[in-house]
A and B are shown apart, each in its own frame.
Chain A
């Protein structure tokens, strides 16, 4: 910024020398314009600093609030577990029913807080990756197993097709598990009634390519450009399901990007959605 001001002042002096005869006026013009440039530069620098500070404070705020929320939530979860175990006193069927509601809701809050913390880490560039050489096929099978109860309860059939002899890849298994989990969770959650989710895994050039296809409610055309934005939930999703923070896809895309891959989707409202992502095979 300083360099620009010096060059500008010098240019004004040279131009002034050519057109104005009185050196006093030239000096006054140069002083006036230089002062003006200094003031503008100062305002711009201050604005940038304020913006950076505001962004830093926002991320810090999310991080602190999330941590502070986590402790009471853990307490709540454990107290409910203790009560449900019947170790304090016998529990009636009706009580168990309500304890389950408490447990599910505290778990939902915990998930939201956990998502907020992940977003805050992504924004602060602090999302840590512990890479390992893994089989993506095994990882997908593990996630399918984990969401098994949820898909069964929702009458959703999951099928998985994978090419044989795929190479292993270097990724953070926990983070990639989170991505697959998010995509599967969305696919199951937004299927109206009975439905099916098809997962495909294959090699495409130097990448492994994963596709999660559902016959769910789809994403309205107007909403498609916002789908990877934080907190965005499309209109038909809000009608269909009140749960959800709108953070899952933002987190998933950030993780895939940081793992050296790409993520995208095709969708048609009322027909279904296909989300895909790639992960590089030769990533060091």
Chain B
């Protein structure tokens, strides 16, 4: 069973997403802040990370930077899932090594699942 780590401070979103991810046959792991997210990425070795950017303790960009610096987490694909949609944010995330950048408001659950499946299968870099 593939493991997905969701680093997101909104617990309601964690719950909704957890429900759908579990039903699709993945194991969902939750982290409510950047620091916990980084620690879990190292210890739990997920197959994919969904990362929000505005996070308590450590900002999402710093989490992404650290994930891509460490040998043990470098190869885990990271989907940035946020409501920040400035071009500079998208460029920064992709430069730091995010696989895909998704703006929450623009995607339905179904479309998100497709992106997740794609990232787990083929790790191609796209920006949305």
Contacts and interface: CB of A to CB of B under 8 A. Distances in A.
Nearest to A88: B19
Nearest to A74: B104
Interface stretch (A23-31, A79-87, A177-185): A79-87
A130 B87 contact: yes
B88 to A, nearest CB: 8
Contact of B109 (A67, A73, A81): A81
A275 B83 CA distance: 33
Contacts of B20: 82, 87
A67 B103 CA distance: 11
Nearest to A121: B86
15 contacts: A67-B83, A70-B83, A70-B105, A71-B13, A71-B104, A75-B12, A75-B13, A78-B108, A81-B108, A81-B109, A85-B109, A113-B105, A114-B105, A126-B86, A130-B87
Contacts, number: 46
A75 B10 contact: yes
Interface string B7-30: 000101100110110010000000
A128 B86 contact: yes
B12 A128 contact: no
A136 B100 CA distance: 28
Contacts of A113: 105
A110 interface: yes
A185 B16 CA distance: 32
B84 interface: yes
Interface string A78-118: 11011001011000000000000000000000100110010
